Amino acid sequence: MVDFPADIYTEPDADVDTLKNLGPLTGMAGIWKSASGEDVHPTAGGPEPQAFIERYELQPIDPQTNGPQLLYGLRYHTHIVKPDSVETFHDQVGYWLWEPATGTIFYTLSIPRAQIAMAVGHAASGAKTFSLEAVRGSETHGIVSNPFLEHSFKTLRVTIDVTIHPGGTWSYEQDTVMVIPGVPDPFHHTDRNTLRKIGEPTPNPLAAHRANPTAQPRSLGIGSLRSR
């Protein structure tokens, strides 16, 4: 059982430079691409392999606090197409988060098939490999699907293994275990890829402001109260 502090409101001091505090996620920050992805998914005729091209962008966010809990992280968007195609094969957004105090990694994912999940794992700050898991029914690292997916492709578990390579690449292997009507055994929907960097990350807003405090924002976005 986790020993949470009695004071659940007081926030800790945080280093504003997220890129210096990402622990095992450090080697993932930036913009990445690969044409060597491998997917195996279910079809009416059985498992079907599919090669894919992936662009994966991970940008640092400002430090986040839940009272005394402190998280550093990367907001990500991955977009996948089949070779020689412009149609989206897979699209996914979410966050990779690192909690230095506990050595916990959180991986949230949301896909436009109306499904979300959060996988959790643990690693040392300097780890180059780590694993995370989301499990059906968990209140802290669970999976939520729309009614059709819950009936037709019930997801039991999602695991993802990440490796940061010394040559400036990183790779993942993901296994989504599903129950499909008419299929006697759980189906393993797998994805794997090795990504190469094509762009550096942009410093998070607080870090950018500290580096250049006189710079004016180009846009304050929706909801801005700045006078025109």
- Tell me the per-residue pLDDT of 63-106, one tens digit each, with 9 for 90 and over: 999 999 999 999 999 999 999 999 999 999 999 999 999 999 99
Reduce the DSSP state of residue 77 to 3 states and report it: strand
* pLDDT value for 145: 98
Q: Which residues pair with 95 in a beta bridge?
A: 75, 108
Task: Count Cβ atoms below 10 Å from residue 118 Cβ, excluding itself.
Answer: 21
Indicate if the pLDDT at residue 17 is higher than 50.
Answer: yes
- Over the Cα atoms of the chain, what is R_g? 19
Confidence of residue 3 (pLDDT cuts 50, 70, 90): confident
Confidence (pLDDT) at 226: 35
Q: What is the pLDDT of residue 224?
A: 35
pLDDT reported for residue 213: 83
Picking from 212, 91, 109, 208, the residue whose alpha carbon sits closest to that of residue 160 is 109
Instruction: Give 199's pLDDT tier (boundaries 50, 70, 90).
Output: very high
| pTM listed for this prediction | 0.92
Q: Which residues contact 9 (CB under 8 A, 6 or more apart)?
A: 67, 68
CA–CA separation, 50 and 130 (whole Å): 25
Query: Whole-angstrom Cα distance, residue 48 to residue 38?
Result: 11
Contact, 105 vs 95, CB < 8 A?
no
Longest dimension (CA), the chain: 64
pLDDT of 219 higher than 70 = no
Whether 25 has a pLDDT exceeding 70, the answer reads yes
**Lowest-pLDDT choice from 88-102, 141-155, 205-219:** 205-219
Tens digits of residue pLDDT in 94-141: 999 999 999 999 999 999 999 999 999 999 999 999 999 999 999 999
Q: What is the pLDDT of residue 48?
A: 98
Query: What pLDDT shows up at residue 215?
Result: 64
pLDDT in tens, 180-196: 999 999 999 999 999 99
